[in-house]
Amino acid sequence: MTNTNVYLPEPVKVLENLRETTDNFRLVLDIPFKNEPGQFVQISLLGIGEAPISIASWDRDYLMLHIREVGTVTRALGRCKPGDTVFIRGPYGKGYPMKEAEGGNMVIIAGGCGVASVKGVFDYVGKNRDKYNEIYAFVGYRNSKEVIFEDFVDEWKESMSLFVSLDTLKEGTCYDATEGFVTDLVKITELPKGDTVAMLCGPPIMMKLSGRALIEKGMPEDKVYVSEERLMYCATGTCCHCMIGSTFTCKDGPVFRWDELKEHTP
């Protein structure tokens, strides 16, 4: 079964629920999903509710989601076991500009849970490596206990230069991490020369500072893309909860160009 009607919640079996940190888990769902890197789905549990979650996979024979437990739906999803049924509708929104980036370099910057949103980009470039020149990925976590997707690191390193930072450095991670914020790592690293597209996802302050750092280093604003999160319900541009100025996060985003977002932010 694949996702055929994006408006219809489809029942899907849980294959795996892997605890990654104390309040973060990974769900692997039994559905070969068709999506663009950076898009999201609405996942629901009957009688409990629905939540938008970024798709952390691309062109795999399963759908992967990475979820932080913050409230009713995400905590209930955290208790799901293999064999349980969840409901999925989507994919929704505009993803990262994989086509536009072809023939040039890519800089990917992600922090914490934001790595889930760019994980689809990592899957994509792993299968389309010949379409891009240099790929630099900067990934930041609070400390070694907050590291997610650790089992994918070797795969990522095959297709890109991976730079990892931990706010506080501790033993016990397989990364060669440096201590400090990921934004500082971006500032001190010489970026690839020539046409480059940047893709950012993480806490708002991280995206703001990394975006500014890239622009100060000479990147045009229309080559920097950020993935935004807003409270949303319908995901189809109807309920208006996710609007940023006159634009919808669910339909026009969640991935926005830096200069476009500036136009819509008061």
Ligand X SMILES: Cc1cc2nc3c(=O)[nH]c(=O)nc-3n(C[C@H](O)[C@H](O)[C@H](O)COP(=O)(O)OP(=O)(O)OC[C@H]3O[C@@H](n4cnc5c(N)ncnc54)[C@H](O)[C@@H]3O)c2cc1C
Question: Is 94 a binder of ligand X (CB under 6 A)?
Answer: no
Smallest distance, ligand X to C-beta of residue 180, A: 25
Tokens read off for 219: 């990147």
- Candidates 13, 18, 19, 72; binder of ligand X (CB under 6 A) is 72
Question: Is 202 a binder of ligand X (CB under 6 A)?
Answer: no
User: Which of 119, 162, 169 lies closest to 141 in space, CA to CA?
Assistant: 169
Smallest distance, ligand X to C-beta of residue 189, A: 26
Identify the three-state secondary structure at position 49. Answer: strand
Round to whole Å and give the CA distance between 141 and 165: 6
Identify whether the C-beta of residue 59 lies closer than 8 Å to the C-beta of residue 33: no
User: Residue with structure tokens 């219809």?
Assistant: 8
The smaller minimum CB distance to ligand X, of residues 17 and 74, is found at: 74
For the chain, the distance separating the N- and C-terminal CA atoms, rounded to the nearest angstrom, is: 44
Q: Determine the size of the site formed for ligand X (CB under 6 A).
A: 21
Question: Is 203 a binder of ligand X (CB under 6 A)?
Answer: no
The smaller minimum CB distance to ligand X, of residues 3 and 74, is found at: 74
Strand-pairing partners, residue 178, are 165
The smaller minimum CB distance to ligand X, of residues 95 and 211, is found at: 95
Identify whether the C-beta of residue 57 lies closer than 8 Å to the C-beta of residue 120: yes
Q: Which of residues 74-93 bind ligand X (CB under 6 A)?
A: 74
Tokens read off for 66: 């990475």
Question: Is 71 a binder of ligand X (CB under 6 A)?
Answer: yes
Round to whole Å and give the CA distance between 25 and 46: 20
Smallest distance, ligand X to C-beta of residue 242, A: 6
Smallest distance, ligand X to C-beta of residue 173, A: 21
Question: Is 237 a binder of ligand X (CB under 6 A)?
Answer: no
Backbone angles phi, psi at 209, to 5 degrees: -70, -40
Stretch that binds ligand X, among 129-137, 145-153, 209-217, 225-233 (CB under 6 A): 225-233
Other residues' Cβ atoms within 10 Å of the Cβ of residue 89: 19
Q: Which of residues 21-40 bind ligand X (CB under 6 A)?
A: 40
Q: Binding marks (x or -) toward ligand X, 39..68, rule CB under 6 A?
A: -x--------x-xxxx-----------xxx
Kind of pairing between the strands at 24-29 and 10-21:
antiparallel
- Candidates 107, 108, 113, 125; binder of ligand X (CB under 6 A) is 113
DSSP notation for 147-194: ---GGGHHHHHHHSEEEEEESS--S--SS-EEES-HHHHHHHSPPPPS
Question: Is 105 a binder of ligand X (CB under 6 A)?
Answer: no
Kind of pairing between the strands at 105-111 and 196-201:
parallel
The smaller minimum CB distance to ligand X, of residues 40 and 138, is found at: 40
Question: Is 108 a binder of ligand X (CB under 6 A)?
Answer: no
- Candidates 70, 169, 174, 205; binder of ligand X (CB under 6 A) is 70
Residue with the closest Cβ to ligand X? Answer: 71
* Interface with ligand X (CB under 6 A): 40, 49, 51-54, 66-68, 70-74, 113, 116, 229-232, 254
